[in-house]
Amino acid sequence: TSVKVTDSAGVERTAPLFFVSPTQINYQLPAGVTGTATVAILRDNSIVGAGQLQATNVAPGLFGANANGQGVAAAVVLRIKSNGAQSFEPVSNFDQTIRRFVAVPIDLGSSPVPDRFYLILLGTGIRGRISLANVTATVGGLATPVSFAGAQGSLVGVDQLNLGPLPGNLKGRGNVDIVLRVDGKTANTVQVNIK
């Protein structure tokens, strides 16, 4: 089984496959495909299915911890203490009773020299951005710096977004929305909880 993608310029590329079963094929759209593309599914070099898709450079999407693109973000928090010590903390935990991930509050603390907090989120459709300057984010409606937006590095097809430091005036806000815009396109909204 193989998947071939032919873009609007007539360039054919073989798509990397993640999963193949009698009723489903999961593949990665090859880099460089834009415009209207034809996807052909081949078995033993014979086409057994085909269709078209519209590919763009960016189509930002943030992953949710519950794999539905909603609710608590698929993310971690990087805490940097005033002495420079760093630790990663979860933003979600699996609740066995309701059988889904729920938010773990991010404790921004109240020390005189506050720690700095950075959100590291996972998503897709971000790496094709024009420039980092074209990536903006808000957390709880407050503009939050974006220091990285690109390929995650070790997970094929997964992008990473680094936001922060989180604004200190988010303290006590509870569930807050994360809104991401890449090259003028808005991603789905996910949340974190701020204590």
Q: Which residues pair with 150 in a beta bridge?
A: 160
Total Cβ atoms within 10 A of residue 119? 22
Handedness of CA 128, 132, 136, 137 (dihedral sign): positive
pLDDT of residue 32: 86
CA 49 to chain centroid: 30
Those residues with Cβ within 8 angstroms of residue 144's Cβ, 6 or more apart along the chain or in another chain: 119, 137, 138, 163, 164, 166, 167
Give the pLDDT confidence score for residue 112 in this predicted structure: 67
Contacts with 16 (C-beta within 8 Å, 6 or more apart), sequence order? 27, 28, 30, 156
Residue 46: strand, helix, or coil? strand
| Sequence-separated (6 or more) residues with CB below 8 Å from residue 55 | 7, 29, 33, 34, 35, 36, 37
- Looking at residue 194, its pLDDT comes to 96
Residue 126 is encoded by which pair of tokens? 């971000």
- pLDDT per residue, tens digit, the chain (195 aa), is 999 999 999 999 999 998 999 999 999 999 889 899 999 999 999 999 999 999 998 999 999 999 999 999 999 999 999 899 999 999 999 999 999 999 999 998 866 678 999 999 999 999 999 999 999 999 999 999 999 999 998 988 899 999 999 998 999 999 999 999 999 999 999 999 999
H or E segment and range at residue 2: strand 2-6
Q: Could you count the other beta carbons within 10 Å of the beta carbon of residue 19?
A: 8
Question: What is the reported pLDDT for 34?
Answer: 84
